[in-house]
Structure 1
Amino acid sequence: MSYKIQDLIYQGEKGGVRNWSTIGGASFYWHPDWLHIAEEATGVNPTANIECSQEKATESEAAEAIIKHLNEKE
């Protein structure tokens, strides 16, 4: 299976941390101050880096990093 942005379910934002999940139950988190995504809301253990052109990543760049990470895991 190849993941697409449409496969992510946006769960909202709490304390600045955005959360997405997949139909399979995996959760991913991102905060505007992070240049990575994480599998826990603290962001202490990065799951994958976000490739971005600025000093801060955007929400769409974070979602794209999640998709890239999911597709590389397969």
Structure 2
Amino acid sequence: MKLFTMDDLSYRGTHQGVHSWDHPEGDTPYYWHPDWLHIAEDALGIHPKADIDVPEGETATEEHAKAAIIKHLNEKNNG
């Protein structure tokens, strides 16, 4: 099975602080806001898709969010 990488994500931009990415495995994007510790399937963050792994003492960043999206896609696709 194909493993996804960061290159497979297409950044859609940010709206009111919420970042979003398209991906090759679906018709709905992933969303993330710096205050969230998860990625979501909606811009309000009400429907989490996966937690973000953030080392203790660090703040969640866009890179953490992208890593969580890739991990979620790969687990879903290969799980």
TM-score of the two chains, using structure 2 as the length reference: 0.87
| Aligned-residue CA RMSD (Å) | 1.2
CA offsets 1:7-35 (integer angstroms, 9 cap, x no match): 00000000000000013433100000000
Shift of 1:45: 1.3
Secondary structure of 1:60 counterpart: helix
Shift of 1:61: 0.5
2:22 alignment partner AA: S
Contact in 2 for aligned 1:34/1:56 (Cα 8 Å)? no
CA offsets 1:28-73 (integer angstroms, 9 cap, x no match): 0000000000011010111000001145310000000000000000
> Structure 2 residue aligned with 1:56, among 47, 59, 67?
59
Percent of paired sites with the same residue: 50
- Distance in 2, matches of 1:68 and 1:38, equals 14
Contact in 2 for aligned 1:33/1:56 (Cα 8 Å)? no
Q: Which has the larger radius of gyration?
A: 2
Q: Which runs of 4+ in 1 moved over 4 A?
A: none
Aligned length: 74
